[in-house]
Amino acid sequence: MLEITLFYIAATIALVATVLAMTRANAIHALIYLIVSLLAVAVIFFLIGAPFAAALEIVIYAGAIMVLFVFVIMMLNLGEEGDARERGLLQPSIWAGPTVLSLLLFAELLYMISTIEGPVSTQAVSAKEVGLALFGPYVLAVEIAAMLLLAGLVGSFHLGRRYLEREE
Protein backbone atom coordinates (compact mmCIF):
# COMPACT_ATOMS: atom_id res chain seq x y z
CA MET A 1 0.00 0.00 0.00
CA LEU A 2 2.89 2.29 0.74
CA GLU A 3 3.99 2.24 -2.88
CA ILE A 4 0.53 3.14 -4.08
CA THR A 5 0.30 6.03 -1.67
CA LEU A 6 3.75 7.17 -2.73
CA PHE A 7 2.68 6.99 -6.35
CA TYR A 8 -0.31 9.25 -5.80
CA ILE A 9 1.78 11.73 -3.84
CA ALA A 10 4.47 11.77 -6.53
CA ALA A 11 1.87 12.10 -9.25
CA THR A 12 0.22 15.03 -7.48
CA ILE A 13 3.59 16.72 -6.97
CA ALA A 14 4.49 16.19 -10.64
CA LEU A 15 1.21 17.67 -11.89
CA VAL A 16 1.20 20.64 -9.54
CA ALA A 17 4.86 21.41 -10.17
CA THR A 18 4.29 21.24 -13.91
CA VAL A 19 1.30 23.55 -13.79
CA LEU A 20 3.31 26.00 -11.72
CA ALA A 21 6.27 25.71 -14.05
CA MET A 22 4.07 26.52 -17.01
CA THR A 23 2.56 29.57 -15.40
CA ARG A 24 5.63 31.24 -13.86
CA ALA A 25 6.77 34.56 -15.26
CA ASN A 26 10.33 34.13 -14.12
CA ALA A 27 12.26 31.57 -16.12
CA ILE A 28 14.43 30.39 -13.19
CA HIS A 29 11.40 29.82 -11.00
CA ALA A 30 9.73 27.87 -13.73
CA LEU A 31 12.85 25.84 -14.18
CA ILE A 32 13.01 24.94 -10.52
CA TYR A 33 9.40 23.75 -10.63
CA LEU A 34 10.17 21.77 -13.74
CA ILE A 35 13.04 20.04 -11.99
CA VAL A 36 10.68 19.17 -9.16
CA SER A 37 8.25 17.76 -11.64
CA LEU A 38 10.98 15.65 -13.29
CA LEU A 39 12.13 14.34 -9.93
CA ALA A 40 8.56 13.36 -9.13
CA VAL A 41 8.34 11.48 -12.40
CA ALA A 42 11.61 9.79 -11.51
CA VAL A 43 9.95 8.61 -8.31
CA ILE A 44 7.08 7.17 -10.34
CA PHE A 45 9.57 5.34 -12.54
CA PHE A 46 11.16 3.92 -9.47
CA LEU A 47 7.79 2.82 -8.11
CA ILE A 48 6.68 1.05 -11.24
CA GLY A 49 9.83 -1.01 -11.38
CA ALA A 50 12.13 0.89 -13.71
CA PRO A 51 15.01 1.95 -11.45
CA PHE A 52 17.40 2.44 -14.33
CA ALA A 53 15.02 4.80 -16.04
CA ALA A 54 14.55 6.66 -12.80
CA ALA A 55 18.29 7.10 -12.47
CA LEU A 56 18.60 8.33 -16.02
CA GLU A 57 15.71 10.70 -15.46
CA ILE A 58 17.48 12.28 -12.55
CA VAL A 59 20.95 12.30 -14.04
CA ILE A 60 20.22 13.39 -17.55
CA TYR A 61 16.89 15.18 -17.42
CA ALA A 62 16.91 16.88 -14.09
CA GLY A 63 20.67 17.10 -14.15
CA ALA A 64 22.29 17.73 -17.48
CA ILE A 65 19.44 19.15 -19.54
CA MET A 66 18.11 21.44 -16.85
CA VAL A 67 21.60 22.68 -16.08
CA LEU A 68 21.89 23.60 -19.73
CA PHE A 69 18.73 25.65 -19.37
CA VAL A 70 20.10 27.36 -16.32
CA PHE A 71 23.32 28.25 -18.14
CA VAL A 72 21.49 29.80 -21.05
CA ILE A 73 19.10 31.75 -18.86
CA MET A 74 21.98 33.08 -16.84
CA MET A 75 23.84 33.99 -20.01
CA LEU A 76 20.88 35.94 -21.39
CA ASN A 77 20.40 37.79 -18.11
CA LEU A 78 16.69 38.40 -18.59
CA GLY A 79 16.00 40.46 -15.47
CA GLU A 80 12.85 42.03 -14.03
CA GLU A 81 11.55 43.65 -17.23
CA GLY A 82 11.22 40.29 -18.90
CA ASP A 83 9.27 38.98 -15.90
CA ALA A 84 6.81 41.87 -16.06
CA ARG A 85 6.34 41.32 -19.74
CA GLU A 86 5.69 37.62 -19.29
CA ARG A 87 3.18 38.29 -16.57
CA GLY A 88 1.31 40.70 -18.83
CA LEU A 89 0.98 38.05 -21.46
CA LEU A 90 -0.71 35.49 -19.21
CA GLN A 91 -4.21 36.83 -19.78
CA PRO A 92 -7.41 34.72 -19.98
CA SER A 93 -7.97 35.95 -23.54
CA ILE A 94 -4.69 34.29 -24.45
CA TRP A 95 -5.03 31.01 -22.63
CA ALA A 96 -8.79 30.40 -22.99
CA GLY A 97 -8.67 28.98 -26.52
CA PRO A 98 -5.58 26.78 -26.02
CA THR A 99 -7.10 25.48 -22.78
CA VAL A 100 -10.21 24.37 -24.60
CA LEU A 101 -8.09 22.60 -27.22
CA SER A 102 -5.97 20.93 -24.53
CA LEU A 103 -9.03 19.80 -22.62
CA LEU A 104 -10.50 18.34 -25.79
CA LEU A 105 -7.34 16.39 -26.47
CA PHE A 106 -7.18 15.30 -22.86
CA ALA A 107 -10.77 14.09 -23.01
CA GLU A 108 -10.01 12.02 -26.06
CA LEU A 109 -6.90 10.52 -24.53
CA LEU A 110 -8.83 9.85 -21.36
CA TYR A 111 -11.47 8.02 -23.34
CA MET A 112 -8.77 5.94 -24.97
CA ILE A 113 -7.01 4.92 -21.75
CA SER A 114 -10.30 4.24 -19.99
CA THR A 115 -10.49 0.94 -21.87
CA ILE A 116 -7.20 -0.30 -20.36
CA GLU A 117 -7.49 -2.49 -17.32
CA GLY A 118 -5.09 -4.07 -14.84
CA PRO A 119 -2.09 -3.06 -12.75
CA VAL A 120 1.51 -2.85 -13.94
CA SER A 121 3.58 -5.99 -13.75
CA THR A 122 4.89 -7.13 -10.41
CA GLN A 123 8.04 -8.14 -12.19
CA ALA A 124 10.48 -5.26 -12.28
CA VAL A 125 12.60 -4.81 -15.40
CA SER A 126 16.22 -4.60 -14.39
CA ALA A 127 19.00 -2.55 -16.00
CA LYS A 128 20.57 -5.77 -17.20
CA GLU A 129 17.57 -6.74 -19.28
CA VAL A 130 17.42 -3.25 -20.69
CA GLY A 131 21.08 -3.35 -21.60
CA LEU A 132 20.74 -6.74 -23.28
CA ALA A 133 17.79 -5.61 -25.32
CA LEU A 134 19.44 -2.31 -26.16
CA PHE A 135 22.50 -3.88 -27.69
CA GLY A 136 20.59 -6.83 -29.05
CA PRO A 137 17.57 -6.16 -31.20
CA TYR A 138 17.75 -2.37 -30.72
CA VAL A 139 21.33 -1.81 -31.81
CA LEU A 140 20.22 0.06 -34.87
CA ALA A 141 18.22 2.47 -32.72
CA VAL A 142 21.37 3.07 -30.69
CA GLU A 143 23.26 3.91 -33.85
CA ILE A 144 20.54 6.32 -34.90
CA ALA A 145 20.52 7.91 -31.47
CA ALA A 146 24.26 8.35 -31.75
CA MET A 147 23.90 10.04 -35.11
CA LEU A 148 21.21 12.29 -33.68
CA LEU A 149 23.41 13.32 -30.80
CA LEU A 150 26.26 14.02 -33.17
CA ALA A 151 24.00 16.18 -35.31
CA GLY A 152 22.80 17.99 -32.18
CA LEU A 153 26.40 18.53 -31.14
CA VAL A 154 27.42 19.97 -34.49
CA GLY A 155 24.29 22.09 -34.71
CA SER A 156 24.58 23.62 -31.28
CA PHE A 157 28.27 24.23 -31.76
CA HIS A 158 27.61 26.03 -35.03
CA LEU A 159 24.85 28.19 -33.60
CA GLY A 160 26.64 28.95 -30.37
CA ARG A 161 29.98 29.71 -31.94
CA ARG A 162 28.57 32.40 -34.19
CA TYR A 163 26.82 33.92 -31.23
CA LEU A 164 30.06 34.13 -29.32
CA GLU A 165 31.99 35.50 -32.28
CA ARG A 166 29.48 38.30 -32.75
CA GLU A 167 29.69 39.14 -29.09
CA GLU A 168 33.39 39.78 -29.46
Partner 1 sequence: MEGLNIPLNHILLVSTLLFSIGMLGLMIRRNIIFILMSLEVMLNAAALAFVAAGAHWGQPDGQIIFMLILTVAAAEVAVGLGLVLQVQRRFKTLDMDSANRMRG
Partner 2 sequence: MGDMIWLVPLIPMLSSILLMLGSGSLPRVIIGLLGVCSVGAAAVLTLLVGLDFLANPQPFQMTLWTWMQVGNFSPGIAFYFDGLTLVMMSVITGVGFLIHLFSTEFMEEDVSYARYFAYLNMFVAAMLVLVMADNLLLLYLGWEGVGVCSYLLVGFWYQNSANGQAARKAFVVTRIGDTAMALGLLLLFTQLGTLDIQAMMGVANEQWQVGDTLPLIACLLLLGGAVGKSAQLPLHTWLPDAMAGPTPVSALIHAATMVTAGVYLIARTNGLFLLAPTAMMIVALIGLATSLMAAFTALMQSDIKRILAYSTISQIGYMFLALGVGAWTAGIFHLMTHAFFKALLFLGSGAIIHYLHHEHDIFKMGGLRSKMPVTFWSFMIGSAALAALPMTSGFFSKDQILLQAYLQPDAGPWLWLGGLLGALLTAIYSFRLVFVVFFGEAKTQPDGDTGWRMALPLVVLCGLAMVGGYFIIPVAEVFPVASGEHPANWVEYVSISVPLMGLLLSYLIFHSGQLNVDKLVNSSLGQWLRRFWHSGWGIDWLYDRIFVRPYYRLSGIMVNEPIDAIYGLIVAINQTFNHWLAESQTGRMRWYIASMVFGLILVLTLALQISAEAL
Of 101 and 140, nearer to partner 2 (C-beta) is 101
Check residue 74 for interaction with partner 1 (CB under 8 A).
no
52 Cβ partners below 8 Å, 6+ apart? 126, 127, 130
Of 102, 133, 139, 163, the one binding partner 2 by CB under 8 A = 102
User: What dihedral do alpha carbons 116, 120, 127, 66 form, nearest 10°?
Assistant: 70
Of 80, 140, 166, 168, the one binding partner 1 by CB under 8 A = 166
Query: Cα(35)–Cα(65) distance, rounded to whole angstroms?
Result: 10
Of 9, 29, 36, 38, the one binding partner 1 by CB under 8 A = 38
Check residue 162 for interaction with partner 1 (CB under 8 A).
yes
Check if the beta carbon of residue 44 is closer than 8 Å to that of residue 8.
no
Residues that bind partner 2 (CB under 8 A): 97-98, 101-102, 104-105, 108-109, 111-112
